[in-house]
């Protein structure tokens, strides 16, 4: 057996695999062809939409490597062989044609994986490779866990529900993104779906949770593609036939398929559900980004209400393309499947400066590398360095020399190099919003001011939830001291207070998802007992003029000031973000009128509240509904945040805040110049005079710039 020898590539050359025809049981054979990428770029530039098939056109393959083991082989015409993974073996067999070669780009074969220099160079061509491909063949894996039925249910679900008049907004959004009308809902048996809770929906959950949807390389492979054919076993459908099922609807409010863990088992715990909510957003986000621009390359966020996007692409089109799959046997199909499968029968810095100030504008913000890194924190990579490298083809600043891939560097070295460069970009303060030792896998060995992207996004953060301007109109100033280690960041800040007590309210991990209200009610009972031990809390005047209890309720719900209500922005009705304090107090009293697991609405404490409300002239039924509605407001606001944040009291009772899990008494609250939120800092045990970022915080009363009013003097602070 002779191993294939790779010839060196020119700077703008790449390889294409000519996959030889064959039957399903025949060995894989193919030939690697060297081509100049610029020839394909020139041809692609002549076509705004789909690329016509030609003798030289190729398709790019998007798949998951799976295990590092390579038990299978593909042979060249000369008899030389290359070892490949089991998953790639099944992928190539599936897309191989029976009567003619198929030109495909497959990273594992078209890039010499043993040559790091070539890998680094080819990564810089990824954008051009995917934009110039006729289409992308997305291989999700072989049929398993009812995937065939899942593909059918996904399509039926949105075809039945999106045309509902209650979902007019979702329908308009989908039609705009896909550039084609959504057909009216089917009738009769075609309009029937399994009831919620039916075991059949588990097949859909497991389909969406396949590894392909979690892979970081998929992001650019899918978004840059001119079109995408989704392949699962012998099912092959255009991406646009699956994506509409991910659009949020008014009716039903939630899709009928449950969230599952990596083993495909339904999640029950509230904390697990919150941590895995990304399952329902992954494919939606990818599709939204594809439809965000009419041209390939880099586009801007369109700001539509149903979702954000940041990269160019095309909507769904030409659903009747040949899929070129080896199906193996015949199936019954609906009309659309017949259309797909008919053709299928044929075959898929300036670091020495002490201080810098950046104002930056909004130009290209939605496509810069920092935005992409923060948008895709839930993706996975076998090699963690690829969490950076795999997004370069999408980023408007991805061709910077400072971002050039280097596989000779460790992940830690890569993260530091990228972060130091990203700090010079507009809105670079957002890097700190997602950093902190609570989210790091390396402890003291990893700079606390850099987000550890190896740790997927699993919880809501202050940066996600609070739209604030805590630093007022100050600019973000940073620097690097040449006399310090290169992982020490110099910032300017003002110390606000010191944490004296963390409430340590119970977490949600032990609670069933069907009882989030009980969890919040238990929180409120614990909180009530805590506040009862603070002398004068009911009457104490908070810096905002509120009582201590009012400030705590505002803090728990991440609400800002009355000015926000006047602005008319927010989620809780026409009045804006702020729920009236009377509602919050009523909700607090309702939630604390419970003992242990007792949710009996007829308890004496609840009845007393009903009678109190009835004094305003409403009926007993209306009073009961008002109680439950008020409690639900508090539950809806507190539940998403409490899985990640804890309530803390400042020393001397000056402030209350919500801080990241892991904060301790003695940690300090700082306002850093130019940052949107306060930060919890901890004195470093490793480096004298330095501090570590624990995480961003919400501190009631200083989220609109109160801590940095005119006259406040900032002092330098070293962060490592």
Residue 448's nearest CA partner among 464, 434, 460, 430 is 434
d(C-alpha 154, C-alpha 289), whole Å: 20
Residue 421 has pLDDT above 70, yes or no: yes
- CB atoms inside a 10 Å sphere around CB 452: 22
Pairing of strands 691-696, 679-683: antiparallel
**pLDDT score recorded for residue 650:** 61
**pLDDT score recorded for residue 395:** 93
As a whole-number percent, the residues of the chain with pLDDT over 70 amount to 72
Range from 1-10, 70-79, 321-330, 351-360 carrying the lowest mean pLDDT? 351-360
Output 628 or 396, whichever has higher pLDDT: 396
Residue 657 has pLDDT above 70, yes or no: yes
| Interval 400-413 mean pLDDT | 96
**pLDDT score recorded for residue 549:** 78
Output 577 or 145, whichever has higher pLDDT: 145
CA 572 to chain CA centroid, Å, is 24
**pLDDT score recorded for residue 623:** 78
Residue 568 has pLDDT above 60, yes or no: no
- Dihedral angle computed from the Cα positions of residues 388, 390, 395 and 399, in that order, rounded to the nearest 10 degrees: 80
Per-residue model confidence as pLDDT tens digits over 659-688: 877 788 889 999 999 998 999 999 998 889
Full DSSP string of 337-350: HHHHHHHHTT---G
Per-residue model confidence as pLDDT tens digits over 185-194: 999 999 999 9
Residue 360 has pLDDT above 60, yes or no: no
**pLDDT score recorded for residue 5:** 92
Range from 88-92, 204-208, 437-441, 443-447 carrying the lowest mean pLDDT? 437-441
| Interval 463-471 mean pLDDT | 72
d(C-alpha 68, C-alpha 57), whole Å: 30
Residue 701 has pLDDT above 80, yes or no: yes
**pLDDT score recorded for residue 634:** 66
**pLDDT score recorded for residue 649:** 65
Highest mean pLDDT among 46-50, 118-122, 282-286, 296-300: 118-122
Residue spans per domain, the chain: 2-134, 154-344, 351-501+656-719, 513-641
Residue 22 has pLDDT above 70, yes or no: yes
Residue 570 has pLDDT above 80, yes or no: no
pLDDT band at residue 321 under the 50/70/90 scheme: very low
Per-residue model confidence as pLDDT tens digits over 243-282: 999 999 999 988 999 988 888 898 876 556 666 677 778 8
**pLDDT score recorded for residue 612:** 78
**pLDDT score recorded for residue 417:** 97
pLDDT band at residue 147 under the 50/70/90 scheme: very high
As beta bridge partners, residue 682 has: 692
d(C-alpha 230, C-alpha 209), whole Å: 15
pLDDT band at residue 309 under the 50/70/90 scheme: very low
| Interval 465-494 mean pLDDT | 88
Burial of 416 (C-beta count, 10 Å sphere; 0-12/13-18/19+) = middle
| Interval 160-176 mean pLDDT | 95
pTM of structure: 0.82
- Looking at every residue in the chain, the average pLDDT score rounds to 80
Residue 303 has pLDDT above 50, yes or no: no
Residue 318 has pLDDT above 70, yes or no: no
**pLDDT score recorded for residue 651:** 54
pLDDT band at residue 602 under the 50/70/90 scheme: low
pLDDT band at residue 584 under the 50/70/90 scheme: confident
As beta bridge partners, residue 684 has: none
Per-residue model confidence as pLDDT tens digits over 38-86: 999 999 999 888 888 888 999 999 999 988 899 999 999 999 999 999 9
Residue 489's nearest CA partner among 423, 433, 434 is 423
Residue 487 has pLDDT above 60, yes or no: yes
**pLDDT score recorded for residue 530:** 63
> Which of left, alpha, beta for 633 (phi over 0: left; psi -120 to 50: alpha)?
alpha
**pLDDT score recorded for residue 536:** 63
**pLDDT score recorded for residue 14:** 98
Residue 504 has pLDDT above 80, yes or no: no
- CB atoms inside a 10 Å sphere around CB 208: 20
């Amino acid at each position: 057996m002779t191993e294939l020898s790779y010839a060196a590539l020119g700077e703008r050359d790449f390889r294409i695999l000519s996959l030889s025809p064959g039957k399903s049981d025949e060995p894989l054979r193919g030939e690697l062809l060297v081509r100049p990428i610029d020839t394909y770029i020139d041809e692609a530039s002549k076509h705004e939409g789909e690329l016509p098939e030609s003798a030289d056109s190729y398709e790019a393959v998007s798949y998951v490597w799976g295990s590092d083991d390579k038990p299978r082989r593909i042979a060249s015409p000369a008899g030389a062989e290359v070892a490949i993974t089991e998953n790639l073996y099944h992928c190539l067999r599936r897309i191989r044609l029976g009567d003619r070669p198929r030109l495909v780009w497959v990273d594992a074969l078209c890039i010499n994986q043993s040559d790091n220099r070539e890998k680094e160079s080819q990564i810089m061509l990824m954008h051009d490779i995917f934009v110039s491909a006729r289409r992308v063949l997305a291989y999700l894996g072989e049929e398993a866990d009812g995937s065939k039925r899942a593909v059918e249910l996904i399509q039926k679900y949105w075809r039945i529900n999106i045309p509902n008049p209650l979902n007019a907004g979702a329908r308009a959004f989908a039609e705009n993104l896909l550039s084609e009308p959504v057909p009216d809902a089917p009738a009769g048996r075609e309009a029937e779906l399994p009831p919620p809770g039916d075991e059949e929906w588990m097949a859909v959950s497991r389909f969406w949770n396949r590894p392909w949807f979690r892979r970081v390389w998929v992001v650019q492979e899918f978004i840059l593609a001119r079109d995408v054919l989704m392949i699962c076993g012998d099912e092959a459908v255009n991406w646009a036939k699956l994506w509409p099922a991910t659009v949020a609807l008014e009716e039903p409010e939630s899709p009928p398929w449950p969230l599952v863990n990596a083993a495909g088992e339904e999640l029950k715990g509230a904390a697990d559900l919150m941590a895995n909510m990304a399952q329902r957003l992954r494919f939606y986000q990818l599709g939204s980004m594809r439809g965000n621009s009419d041209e390939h390359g880099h586009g801007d966020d369109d700001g539509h209400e149903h979702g954000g996007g940041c990269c160019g692409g095309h909507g769904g089109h030409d659903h009747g393309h040949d899929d070129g799959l080896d199906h193996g046997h015949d199936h019954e199909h609906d009309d659309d499947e017949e259309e797909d499968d008919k053709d299928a029968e044929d075959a898929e810095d300036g670091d020495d400066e002490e201080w810098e100030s950046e104002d930056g504008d909004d130009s290209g913000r939605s496509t810069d590398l920092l935005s992409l890194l923060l948008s895709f924190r839930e993706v996975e990579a076998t090699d963690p360095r690829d969490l950076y490298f795999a997004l370069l083809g999408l980023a408007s600043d991805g061709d910077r020399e400072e971002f050039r891939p280097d596989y000779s560097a460790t992940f830690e070295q890569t993260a530091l190099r990228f972060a130091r460069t990203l700090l010079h970009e507009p809105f670079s303060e957002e890097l700190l919003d997602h950093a902190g030792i609570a989210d790091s896998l390396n402890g003291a060995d990893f700079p606390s001011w850099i987000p550890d992207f190896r740790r997927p996004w699993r919880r809501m953060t202050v940066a996600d939830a609070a739209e604030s301007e805590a630093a007022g109109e100050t600019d973000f100033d940073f620097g690097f001291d040449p006399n310090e280690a290169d992982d020490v960041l110099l910032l300017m800040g003002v110390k606000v207070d010191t944490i004296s007590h963390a409430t340590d309210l119970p977490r949600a991990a032990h609670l069933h998802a069907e009882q989030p209200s009980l969890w919040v009610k238990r929180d409120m009972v614990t909180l009530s007992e805590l506040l009862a031990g603070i002398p004068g809390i009911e009457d104490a005047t908070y810096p905002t003029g509120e009582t201590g209890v009012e400030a705590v309720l505002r803090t728990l719900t991440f609400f800002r000031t009355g000015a926000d209500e006047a602005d008319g922005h927010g989620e809780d009705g026409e009045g804006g973000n702020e729920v009236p304090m009377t509602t919050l107090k009523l909700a607090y009293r309702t939630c604390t009128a419970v003992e242990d697991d007792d949710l009996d609405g007829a308890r004496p404490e609840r009845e007393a509240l009903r009678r109190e409300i009835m004094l305003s002239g409403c009926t007993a039924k209306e009073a009961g509904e008002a109680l439950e509605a008020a409690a639900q407001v508090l539950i809806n606001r507190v539940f998403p945040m409490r899985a990640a944040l804890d309530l803390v009291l400042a020393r001397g009772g000056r402030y209350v805040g919500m801080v990241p899990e892991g904060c301790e008494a003695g940690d300090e609250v700082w306002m850093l110049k130019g940052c949107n939120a306060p930060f919890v800092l901890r004195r470093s045990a490793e480096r004298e005079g330095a501090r570590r970022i624990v995480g961003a915080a919400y501190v009631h009363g200083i989220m609109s710039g109160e801590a940095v009013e005119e006259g406040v003097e900032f002092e330098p602070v070293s962060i490592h």
